[in-house]
Amino acid sequence: MKSRKKSDGATLSRLQGLCALVGLVVTLAAIVVLARSAFAHQSPPDLSVRPEAPRPVASGWAVEVRVLNKGDMTAAAVEIEGESEGERARASLDYVPGRGEKRVTLVFSSSVKPQARVRVMGWSDP
């Protein structure tokens, strides 16, 4: 009976040691990742727009626009403007994440297919 208890205790100790080792590795990895991100240089937002092909909607034409951020930092309150044949359409995005993208749709009320020119009006730091 005593030998079973000793072997169970030895197994439990090895399992505890293995779990402690895994916990230590995970903790050290988290510290390294946080330290790298805290001290790394982050580039400011670098926004660009890519309009997609217009599609007809009930109120005219909708142009979906992809807003790309090539910078590391997030851009907030992003204002987008599109112009086609003297008509302007605007939209805003709450944010565009660093190294990410968002989509926005601009609607033009013209009866002919628009050739929209789209640009970023501005943004702010979050």
74-111 pLDDT per residue, tens: 999 999 999 999 999 999 999 999 999 999 999 999 98
Q: What DSSP assignment string belongs to 4-22?
A: HHHHHHHHHHHHHHHHHHH
pLDDT value at residue 2: 52
Query: How far is it, in rounded angstroms, from Cα 9 to Cα 2?
Result: 11
CATH of segment(s) 47-124: 2.60.40.10
Domain boundaries, the chain: 1-40, 47-124
Q: Which residues, including other chains, have CB under 8 Å from residue 109's CB and lie 6 or more apart?
A: 59, 60, 87
Amino acid at 38: A
Is the predicted pLDDT of residue 11 greater than 80, yes or no?
Answer: no
Lowest mean pLDDT among 3-17, 37-51, 70-84, 93-107: 3-17
Nearest Cα residue to 74 out of 37, 34, 124: 124
